[in-house]
Amino acid sequence: MSKKQKVEAITAMNTDFSQWYTDVILKTEMVDYAPVKGFMVIREYGYGLWENIQSAFDKEFKRTGHKNMYFPLLIPESFLTKEKEHVEGFAPEVAWVTHGGENKLGERLCIRPTSETIICSMYAKWLTSYRQLPFLYNQWCNVVRWEKTTRPFLRTSEFLWQEGHTLHETEGEARNETQQMLEIYRKVCEDFLAIPMVAGQKSEKEKFAGAEETYTIEALMHDGQALQSGTSHYLGQNFAKAFDITYLGRENIEEYPYSTSWGVSTRLIGGIIMVHGDDNGLVLPPKIAPIQAVILPIAMHKEGVLDKANDIFDQLKNAFRMELDDSDNSPGWKFNQWEMKGVPVRIEIGPKDIENNQCVMARRDTSEKIIVSLTQVKETLESLLNDIQHNMYQKALKMRESKTSFAENMEQFKKELNENPGFIKAGWCGCRECEDKIKEETGATLRCIPFEQNVEKETLTCVHCGKKADKIAYFARAY
């Protein structure tokens, strides 16, 4: 297969979305399959993206007073079983370590699927007085969940994430923290990843194992499926009681703190791909793109071209994440290659441009080309990148809105889901039975009860049972 063909061999989205996704992630070398089934290798282009995502979140965590720590990978089986709902949720999908070197272990250890249990065991040791509260800690790490069906980034047996774990003196403070972190997730996803989010609460059925309440941000992919993109849990005193975390309170009596936990993961990379990508490959938001602009010299062998390309590169390299492609591949191949990689701006410079003291900037998001004076390169690129960032968000928002329908009854629900797959907004009575039946009949799950309830409540009825409903919920098929 020639290089050119290799670039072009992305399955069209409409032909087979799933194959499109696989083509894009493999051909752009974001990720590869690991030797152990269900595991992935995050390659330099995917990891570069992850580093920028991490940095955006980490700044917000630190700005709001959180510090990073590192807790151990392995958790004793007896810890996992301390919180009843938690163990039921996670035990079926953990990997077990039974031997260290040649020796069988006295107690099995599980590889953390999430770290509430091990962290709570340490918090119990550290916390003695209300004066120490709140505990505001986070860790960036790998976790393992033994998944049966996996797809790179979206669902893998190992993934990278951050997990925040906090303790508070009062229920109110813990609830505020839960909301604050969800809001940070929403804001970073919208401002940096350019993905509009629906924020809201999970149903009892869908909440985190061991939580009182789970809040979520949900995004909509090009194929109309939803992606849970980040969750924030109000844990009440469940884990504090299970792990006997107590402290001497203001009234000089022993009290249990209230706790929260919250996480986002490499799954977000899958979201970026499926929200912004097109038939030519990736489209990456400038703020987090590993390469923000690539310079392509045209007729590179002609005198002065490469020098001028290097000049431009030198002007820009300290202000932007730049690449200069002076490889000996053909210009056509290079265009396709960097387009597929989703680099926001391509800068072309050839002999004619040099004569006219100009270059050409091409936007990845709109394919629009503009001619730029060589004295204006830096300012123009900066404003272009801002424009692209903004435009990508607006485009994604429109896409989501066009794929969001309202259904009054199950007939409408099924019709919409069939004809225009996406979010179905509908009244819901709040009972588990309706939620289960909707899933059974349509494959759609309850994504969240959104904070924004912009529907006339007086006349609202449950889309399934027809009884009075006091809230709407978002339903969708989901990754």
Nearest Cα neighbor of 229 from 259, 184, 260 is 184
Q: Looking up tokens 């602009």, which residue turns up?
A: 293
Q: How far is the CB of 93 from a second copy (least distance, A)?
A: 5
Q: How far is the CB of 33 from a second copy (least distance, A)?
A: 9
Considering the complex, state which of residue 40 and residue 195 has its C-beta at the smaller distance from a second copy. 40
Q: How far is the CB of 127 from a second copy (least distance, A)?
A: 13
Considering the complex, state which of residue 50 and residue 208 has its C-beta at the smaller distance from a second copy. 50
Residues linked to residue 41 through DSSP beta bridges, in sequence order: 32
Considering the complex, state which of residue 20 and residue 135 has its C-beta at the smaller distance from a second copy. 135
Q: How far is the CB of 359 from a second copy (least distance, A)?
A: 26
Considering the complex, state which of residue 147 and residue 382 has its C-beta at the smaller distance from a second copy. 147
Cα–Cα distance measured from residue 384 to residue 273, given in angstroms and rounded to the nearest whole number: 21
Considering the complex, state which of residue 73 and residue 374 has its C-beta at the smaller distance from a second copy. 73
Q: How far is the CB of 144 from a second copy (least distance, A)?
A: 7
Q: How far is the CB of 70 from a second copy (least distance, A)?
A: 4
Q: Looking up tokens 């035990």, which residue turns up?
A: 91
Q: Looking up tokens 């918090």, which residue turns up?
A: 123
Nearest Cα neighbor of 65 from 202, 162, 180, 227 is 180
Cα–Cα distance measured from residue 431 to residue 465, given in angstroms and rounded to the nearest whole number: 10
Q: How far is the CB of 436 from a second copy (least distance, A)?
A: 24
Considering the complex, state which of residue 102 and residue 355 has its C-beta at the smaller distance from a second copy. 102
Considering the complex, state which of residue 73 and residue 300 has its C-beta at the smaller distance from a second copy. 73
Considering the complex, state which of residue 137 and residue 335 has its C-beta at the smaller distance from a second copy. 137
Q: Looking up tokens 């939580």, which residue turns up?
A: 211
Nearest Cα neighbor of 134 from 231, 240, 50, 36 is 240
Q: How far is the CB of 133 from a second copy (least distance, A)?
A: 14
> Is the N-terminal amide bond of 134 cis, ω within 30° of 0?
yes
> Which positions lie near a second copy, rule CB under 8 A?
32, 34-36, 39-44, 47-48, 50-51, 67-76, 79, 91-102, 109, 111, 118, 121-122, 125-126, 137, 141-142, 144, 146, 157-158, 160
Asked if residues 137 and 164 have their Cβ atoms less than 8 Å apart, the reply is yes
Amino acid at 208: F
Cα–Cα distance measured from residue 392 to residue 195, given in angstroms and rounded to the nearest whole number: 8
Cα–Cα distance measured from residue 63 to residue 56, given in angstroms and rounded to the nearest whole number: 11
CB contact set of 258 (below 8 Å; sequence gap of 6+): 167, 168, 169, 170, 171, 173, 174, 175, 234, 235, 236, 237, 240
